[in-house]
Amino acid sequence: MYVNAALGKKDAPLIVATSMNNQPVTNIIESFRSIENQGIKNLEHKWITGADKFAIYFPSSSKMKNAMEIGYQCSSVGQKEFFQKIEAESNRRSSKEKYCQEFKVYFGQEEVDLERCVEKVYQHLNDIDQERKQILNMTHQLFEAMGNQEGGAYLKSLQERIQEDQQQKEMFLQKQELISKDAEVCKKRYLEWQQSYQMLPLWVRIFPFLPWSKNREAAYVSTFSLLDECQILQDSVTYHDVQKQYQAKLSEYDMEYRLTCEQINQFEEAISSAQELMESTTKQMEEINQKLADIYSFDVKQEQKFIWNQFTPTDLNELIDKIRYKEFWMAAHYYEGEWLLRDTTITVKQIPTTFEKVLDEYYHRMAMIAPCMVMTTFMLPKQFQVYGGQYLYNYIDLLIVDEAGQISPEMIAGNFSLAKKALVVGDEHQISPVWGVTRGIDKTMAMIYGVIAEERQFEQLENNGLNCSQSNIMKVAALSCAYNKYEHGMFLNEHRRCYDEIISYCNKLVYKGRLQPKRGSAYEAGKKKLLPPMGHYQVSVEYSHKIGGSRENRAEAEALVTWLTHNYTLLITEYQQDIDAGKMESKDVIGIITPFKGQAFLIKKELMNSPLAKQMSNISVGTVHTFQGAERRIILFSTVYGSGENCYFIDKDESMMNVAVSRAKDAFIVFGDRGCFSERETSATYLLGHTCEEL
């Protein structure tokens, strides 16, 4: 949307990403940081000052200060600090200088006229897009010609066909040679018969119909015949008979010879056709490869192997993604230039106001700087409410809803009226929303307010997910979706976050084996860290302690903190290289999850009283609910239950362990007594016990 709008020289689209709480919202901001640079000159950073990210965060006033301290680009309709900062004359002046400097580095030509710089950026963006379309068109034609086979397999099949046809051609050439030899022998013998016939008395040749001539000629034929001629001559008794038989045989040889010529010609044509196909296919592959090389500046000879051996639509799509990536950055620089060319009409007095004209310019100018605006579902309506109490209905170009499986429909339904289209992302197999009403109240309210005419119609609301109890917006969206992959909606089955051994647990537990692990095994060379991907640390305790509606297990908490104290430095050091490179932070390494708030509180208390007290800011501790939407390299999981108890709370809802385990990218380590694990084979803890290695 962003690139297409830039290609059409339209206003930057307004794209808003939202979710129920701040964790998934800030995850979106953090995700931009995890995108690795491709090393395309100076393309992959902002060409202006005052803004260095693609996302703008709209936090509540209570979270604004902390968000700004973290380094997020923060704003809101009531507090337009980021807007004021980037629109300041000093920042616009320094941005113009930087833009022209970056332009010179990228294009290798000096240009002080900003308008010409922006037009050149636009033309370059358009050229890249045309190249992309041309590559796609060439590839489409190529794959049609190859019958949608892989390039290497297609070329191999052509080569095999050529070899087979060549063998057939050789066979017919040999046959032709044998026919020629046999025909030559036959012709020679035919001439011998002609010559020998002249040796008969003249009267026999003149009067062949006379009895004595017939007898003489029959004796001659019998005497002159050879043993190997029996098949040809058969019952011939006269020279005329012999002549007919030999003429027939010579005609037969001639026919066979001509047929072999036709066969040879057909195989030669087939070989020539296959060779032409090989040449044209190879040429097309080389042309596509050269175009990609021109775009990415890679060595064609070095990359040739890729095109020849693995030329499939999937492989090409990965390369096309790189072109789209480059287009996105060019579009970003185009909009940066457009932002510099257009001065804002919003005055200092108008900045705090919510007049429709002011908000419209505010959002579209912000969209040129950062294409993704992130906010919670609670904050979203406030940002699009204009003076007089009205809202900017049908205003947002694209609303992206993340972690939709944990949002109850009534909490976000109204927000959809502010958007033209929506992309709803979530998982119904993760933790459900906390519903504010019971089914009975929900049904009663539906009847009171005329949503349903009679009680039995409530079941229809439930089937459609259009109720305020036991539903979520992911269910509603899936049922409204035109796609139906396995179940309603488009199932994203490729998983890339966790090692294969970790996500395989979730795959067995809830996804019916439909997930396709794509990250690879932790045990592949160079991948495994200090810990096994799924591990267990035995803490022998018979019973946990119940406190109110929660539980705690002091021995387990102490064992976990003691283990972590001994290993913390070692674990952090394992990831230090990535931390130093800015790919992650120390806080991204370790998370501690437990099903119970009481245990989470106890673990925090133990950490505060341990040598790790100073590292507390880098160690996240919480319940499974608080970690939904988050991820860590290593997750330590405290089961709490003792060997004399069963894991009722853990096993009653599979989504709990699905969320807990899938938070871990590299290792998921369970602390607790194995004796509490269920013996029911379909349960979460039974599977856990049969998956984890003992530490």
The tens digit of pLDDT for each residue in 501-514 reads 999 999 999 999 99
- pTM for the model stands at 0.78
Residues 43-64: what's their mean pLDDT? 93
- Measure the CA–CA gap between 63 and 542, rounded to whole angstroms: 43
In terms of average pLDDT, the best of 207-216, 224-233, 607-616 is: 607-616
What mean pLDDT comes out for the span 671-682?
93
The pLDDT of residue 188 is: 84
**Is residue 350's pLDDT more than 60?**
yes
Q: Average pLDDT for residues 84-100, to the nearest whole number?
A: 96
Confidence of residue 618 (pLDDT cuts 50, 70, 90): very high
Our CA angle for 685, 690, 694, nearest 5°, is 100
Q: How confident is the model at residue 196 (pLDDT cuts 50, 70, 90)?
A: confident
Confidence (pLDDT) at 639:
96
H helix intervals, 198-238: 202-206, 211-224, 230-233
Residue 72 — very low, low, confident or very high, per pLDDT cuts 50/70/90? Answer: very high
Q: Which tokens sit at 356? A: 């429709």
Token pair, residue 137, equals: 């068109």
In this prediction, residue 39 has a pLDDT band, given cuts at 50, 70 and 90, of confident
Per-residue model confidence as pLDDT tens digits over 360-396: 999 999 999 999 999 999 999 999 999 999 999 999 9
Whole-number CA gyration radius for the chain: 40
Summarised one tens digit per residue, pLDDT across range 421-441 is: 999 999 988 888 888 889 999
Residue 74 is classified by DSSP as B
Q: How long, in residues, is the chain?
A: 695
Over residues 141-189, the pLDDT tens digits come to 888 888 878 777 888 899 999 999 999 999 999 999 999 998 898 888 8
Name the packing angle between helices 211-224 and 239-296 (round to 10°). Answer: 40
pLDDT at 667 over 80: yes
CB neighbours of residue 276 within 10 Å = 11
Beta bridge partners of 693: 535
23-33 burial: b if 16+ Cβ within 10 Å, else e: bbbbbbbbeee
**DSSP assignments along 610-676, one per residue:** STTGGGGGGEEEEEHHHHTT--EEEEEEE----TTS--HHHHS-HHHHHHHHHTEEEEEEEEE-GGG
Of residues 201 and 5, more confidence is placed in 5
Give the span between the Cα atoms of 650 and 236, in whole angstroms. 102
Taking CA atoms, 48 is separated from 52, 66, 94, 296, 337, in Å, by: 8, 25, 8, 24, 9
Q: Label residue 475 exposed, middle or buried (CB < 10 Å: 0-12, 13-18, 19+).
A: buried
- Tens of pLDDT, residues 93-142: 999 999 999 999 999 999 999 999 999 999 999 999 998 888 888 888 88
Q: What confidence tens digit (pLDDT) does each residue in 549-567 have?
A: 899 999 999 999 999 999 9
Beta bridge partners of 672: 538
Please tell me the predicted confidence (pLDDT) of residue 558: 97
pLDDT given for residue 99 in this prediction: 97
Pairing of strands 15-19, 664-672: unpaired
For 27, 175, 585, the CA distances from 632, given in Å and listed in that order, are 12, 73, 10
DSSP string spanning 276-314? HHHHHHHHHHHHHHHHHHHHHT--HHHHHHHHHH---HH
Which CA distances in Å does 395 have to 35, 276, 384, 417?
Answer: 29, 56, 9, 9
Give the model's pLDDT for residue 602: 97
- pLDDT in the model for residue 194: 74
Per-residue confidence at 38, pLDDT binned at 50, 70, 90?
Answer: confident
Interval 509-535 mean pLDDT: 87
Question: Does residue 454 have a pLDDT over 60?
Answer: yes
What rounded mean pLDDT belongs to the chain? 89
What is the structure's pLDDT at 296?
63
Place of tokens 């001994």: 566
589 compared with 199, residue with greater pLDDT: 589
Q: State how far the alpha carbon of 192 is from the alpha carbons of 53, 181, 185, 238, in Å.
A: 101, 17, 11, 15
Q: What is the spatial distance between Cα 578 and Cα 590, in angstroms, rounded to a whole number?
A: 14
Task: Say what the pLDDT of residue 673 is.
Answer: 95
pLDDT tens digits, one per residue of 281-340: 888 888 887 777 776 665 545 544 445 556 666 667 777 788 899 999 999 999 999 999
Residue 524: which H helix or E strand, with range? none
Helix axes 151-197, 211-224, angle to 10 degrees: 130
Q: What is the separation of C-alpha 598 from the centre of its chain, rounded to a whole number of angstroms?
A: 40
Q: How confident is the model at residue 214 (pLDDT cuts 50, 70, 90)?
A: low
One DSSP character per residue, 408-420 reads -GGGTGGGGGGBS
DSSP for 546-610, written as a single string: EETTEEE-HHHHHHHHHHHHHHHHHHHHHTHHHHHTTSS-GGGTEEEEES-HHHHHHHHHHHHTS
Contact 326, 43 (CB under 8 A): yes
Read off the pLDDT of each residue in 271-283 and give the average, rounded to a whole number. Answer: 90
Q: Is the pLDDT of residue 623 over 90?
A: yes
Per residue, what are the HEC states of 452-490? Answer: CCCHHHHHHHHHHCCCCCCCCHHHHHHHHCCCEECEEEC
Half-sphere exposure of 67 (CA within 13 A, CB side): 26
| 104 phi, psi to nearest 5 deg | -65, -40
Calculate the alpha carbon distances from 8 to 126, 129, 213, 332, 385 in Å.
10, 12, 105, 14, 29
Kind plus residue range of the DSSP H or E element containing 352:
none
SS3 431: coil
